[in-house]
Chains A and B, each alone.
Chain A
Amino acid sequence: MSAMRVDAKVVMLGKESVGKTSLVERYVHHRFLVGPYQNTIGAAFVAKPIQVGEKVITLGIWDTAGSERYEAMSRIYYRGARAAIVCYDLTDSSSFQRARFWVKELQNCEEFCKIYLCGTKNDLIMADRSVRQIDYHDAQDFAEEIGARHFETSSKTGSNVDELFQAIAEDYNDTAFQYMTEDTGVDLGQRKDSYFYSCCHNN
């Protein structure tokens, strides 16, 4: 094991019990743990390499606790993040309100962080359409309004989960490439983009 190198910091945000941890579990360990709900304590970090074209990009994923108790700490988790997966529970309208809160927070503090709006527990909707509380198009409209990408996933079946993280990695790769070409230009007034190297290196 060598020192950890992380290309892009990704942060999971959202109300408690919307399924942030399950999403990470599904993506990283390809599993869905059934059992009593266990909330995350503080935050959990996991690094995951992902193939984009010919390149390998390592995502450093911060799975944060949804509990209000840790809200004051959340800044350290999303600071410098290149991507934020803002989760809401498709069957719980209050979780969408919370998602709006996180979006606002990110817009205010992290202008370089790309937002991925993610409706979770899609399998429940598939089983019974009447439990849906957040309309697909409403969420889609909101996503467009804030310039975010929008996904509906199920960690239980795995539906759309890999697609979500793949999109993050590809977007990162594209923008990283953009910065690179910008850097070679002659723009003397270019802003110093400390977020380019993302996460861990800025302390």
Chain B
Amino acid sequence: MDGEGQRATVAWETGTLAPVDRLRTERADSPTPGLVEGTEPGAGGKSAMFVHAQSFEDLTAEAEEEALRGAELDKSEEDCTEELKALEEQHNNDFSSDGRAKEEDVSSEAWRSHRKHVFVLSEAGKPIYTRYGTEEALSSTMGVMMALVSFVEAEKNIIRSIHADGCKVVFLTKSPLVLVGVSRTCQSDRELLRELQYIYYQIVSLLTLTQLNHIFQHKQNYDLRRLLAGSEYLTDNLLRRLDRDPGLLLSAVTCLPLASSARDVVSSSLQAAKAKSLVFSILLAGDRLVTLVRKKDQVLHHMDLHLVFNLVGSSSSFREGEGWTPICLPKFNTAGFFHAHISYLEPASELCLILVSTDREDFFNMSDCKRRFLERLSKRSAYQTLKDALKCPSYSVAQVGIPELRHFLYKSKSSGLYTSPEFPVVYESDEEQERLMGLYQDLHSCLHHPTRPLRSFYRCSETENLLAWVTSGFELYLCFSPLATKALAVSAVNKLLKWIRKEEDRLFILSPLTY
């Protein structure tokens, strides 16, 4: 059904991997990494930084519930090819060109053969966003999409997806918006749906859901592009990240490797620079988290954090001066704006400080918090250690000492953090990296299958052997050279977990602070 039958796949029992009776032993004494949540390598102390939930399921659950409410409608291939043809004909019929950089002939073969399209439209069928080409040129195509949604809805049903011609069309209705993904990848509907949710929340983070609802209640026909003008590149970038960033796949973030003593000093300096309205202080080094201090009892959802990462990473705007911008963290609260003070510690530095405040009048207070933090930090040697750490933001897989191991992703579930070495030479090119990420995505889909979830999965191919393993404490994805054997893979897991345990001080944030 999923087209996975032909693959050389073996699922196997994992009971022998770690002695069960030692699961609960103390972190310090335990040479065997815990398999249970909270004792795995990288598990933060008692207070996790992020909203604690079964993150992946948490993300997709909503949509699935909705879908289950209406009787499931998985159309057969024959039914749908017709509709898809109609869609494609629409592409042929309408094209217009103006001078946008994004401009691409939507009737061309090149446009049609993009691996993954994403469209956002209003319930009135008005185009809001397209990943490729211009919205204007696609207005009738989006009209057809809306027609499909309404047609099925009229029968008291919900359209979830259409599978046809090597193509998956996935629908996500989030009133007042409709999101449509068209993919030629082998990702599951669920994965695609999750990506659409990210795009939905990206839009909410700019406007708030309250404003969004308000606008469409007053004017159904509103052209939302007016309000989103200039934000398209944020969505473009987010889509790129979804293809490439393991953090978005794992619903986790990764940290800058840093000696725990230095990280503690940075954290406590940040903790000391507090203010009444301050809710989160986040220090980033590029795409990596250095530390995060939060108000007691307030936790951040990793999705919100990824949206912040995307905002900061996509724009050079914050290099210009101190940024001050309203931002909605949709997983925290879709109704209101926080106000973020965003600035780099030094002009050419990678270190970016984000201070999230509840008060829009508090810019100068936040600016002062930054100054105090920097003052305190500059006096300590930890600042130099931090700067030195920036020079090697990643590590080589060779450090682990498993010859056949090429790459891995390890996520500690309770802390919401993951670690991964840099890509080895074999995966140096962008295409190869995306291919490997595609393989990980595949494994991830299998482990998190809605009806038949797997605990582990071993897969051989001509180019690499892969092993994925999930316990209640962690998720692990390993990539071996094709010469490696299953026995070797199994023994590698233990060795790797021990290595991560040994390095966890450096790779994870073990003692997150609150104000």
Query: Hey, which bits of chain A sit against chain B, CB under 8 A?
Result: 1, 3-4, 16, 21, 24-25, 28, 36, 38-46, 61, 63, 65-70, 73, 76, 200, 203
Whole-angstrom CA separation of A21 from B393 in the bound complex: 31
Q: Which residues of B contact A67 (CB under 8 A)?
A: 227, 229-231
Contact partner of B324 (CB less than 8 A), chosen from A38, A45, A68, A69, is: A45
| Complex CA distance for A140 and B397, rounded to whole angstroms | 66
Nearest CB of B to A168, in Å = 17
Question: Residue on A with the closest CB to B327?
Answer: A42
Contacts of A36 in B (CB 8 A): 101
A-B CB contact pairs (8 Å), 26 listed: A1-B371, A16-B229, A16-B230, A21-B317, A21-B320, A28-B321, A38-B317, A39-B230, A41-B315, A41-B318, A41-B323, A41-B325, A43-B323, A43-B325, A45-B367, A46-B320, A46-B322, A63-B321, A65-B230, A65-B325, A66-B230, A67-B227, A69-B227, A69-B229, A73-B360, A200-B364
A69 & B361 in contact (Cβ 8 Å cutoff): no
Tell me whether A44 and B323 are in contact (CB under 8 A). Answer: yes
Would you give the shortest CB distance from A38 to chain B, in whole angstroms? 6
Determine the distance from Cα of A45 to Cα of B101 in the docked complex, in whole angstroms. Answer: 29
Contact of B321 among A1, A16, A46, A65 (CB under 8 A): A46
With both chains docked as a complex, state the minimum distance between the C-beta of A175 and any C-beta of chain B, in angstroms: 23
A65, B323: Cα distance in complex, Å: 11
B residues apposed to A, CB below 8 Å:
101, 206-207, 226-231, 233, 311, 315-318, 320-326, 340, 360-364, 367-368, 371, 374-375
Inter-chain contacts of A200 with B (CB < 8 A): 363-364
Complex: how many Å from CA A71 to CA B449?
A: 44
Chain A min CB distance to B199 (Å): 17
Of B228, B320, B326, B361, the contact of A203 (CB 8 Å cutoff): B361
Contacts known (A16-B230, A69-B206); A41 close to B367, Cβ less than 8 A? no
Considering the complex, give the chain A residue whose CB is closest to the CB of B228. Answer: A69
Contact B321 A4 (CB under 8 A): no
Contacts of A70 in B (CB 8 A): 325-326
Partner of A42, one of B227, B229, B323: B323
On whether the beta carbons of B228 and A24 are closer than 8 Å, the reply is: no
Do A24 and B320 touch (CB < 8 A)? yes
User: Considering residues B323, B361, B368, B371, which has the most beta carbons from chain A within 10 angstroms of its beta carbon?
Assistant: B323
A residues in contact with B326, CB < 8 Å: 42, 70, 73
Which partner residue on chain A sits nearest B323 by CB separation? Answer: A44
B318: chain A residues at CB < 8 Å are 41, 44
What's the Cα separation between A48 and B368 when bound, in Å?
Answer: 17
Supply 14 further A-B pairs (C-beta < 8 A) apart from A21-B317, A38-B315: A1-B371, A1-B375, A38-B317, A41-B323, A45-B321, A63-B320, A63-B321, A68-B229, A69-B227, A69-B229, A70-B325, A76-B360, A76-B361, A203-B361
B371 adjacent to A3 (CB under 8 Å): yes
Cβ contact within 8 Å between A69 and B207 = yes
* Chain A positions within 8 Å of B340 at CB level: 42
Query: How far apart are the CA atoms of A43 and B340 in the complex, in Å?
Result: 10
Name A69's closest neighbour in chain B (CB-CB).
B227
Across-interface contacts of A21 in B (CB, < 8 A): 317, 320
Residue picked from A3, A42, A68, most chain B C-beta under 10 Å: A42
Contact indicator A4/B371 (Cβ below 8 Å): yes
A1 cross-chain contacts in B, Cβ below 8 A: 371, 374-375
A4 to B315, CA, bound (A): 25
C-alpha spacing A203/B362, complex, angstroms: 8
Query: Cβ of A3 and Cβ of B360 under 8 Å apart?
Result: no
Q: Could you tell me the distance between the alpha carbons of A145 and B40 in the complex, rounded to whole angstroms?
A: 71
Bound complex: CA of A200 vs CA of B365, how far in Å? 9
Residues of B within 8 A of A76 (CB): 360-361
Q: Kindly state the separation between the CA atoms of A3 and B227 in the bound complex, as whole angstroms.
A: 36
A66 to B321 Cα, complex, angstroms = 17
**Contacting residues, chain B, for A61 (C-beta < 8 A):** 321
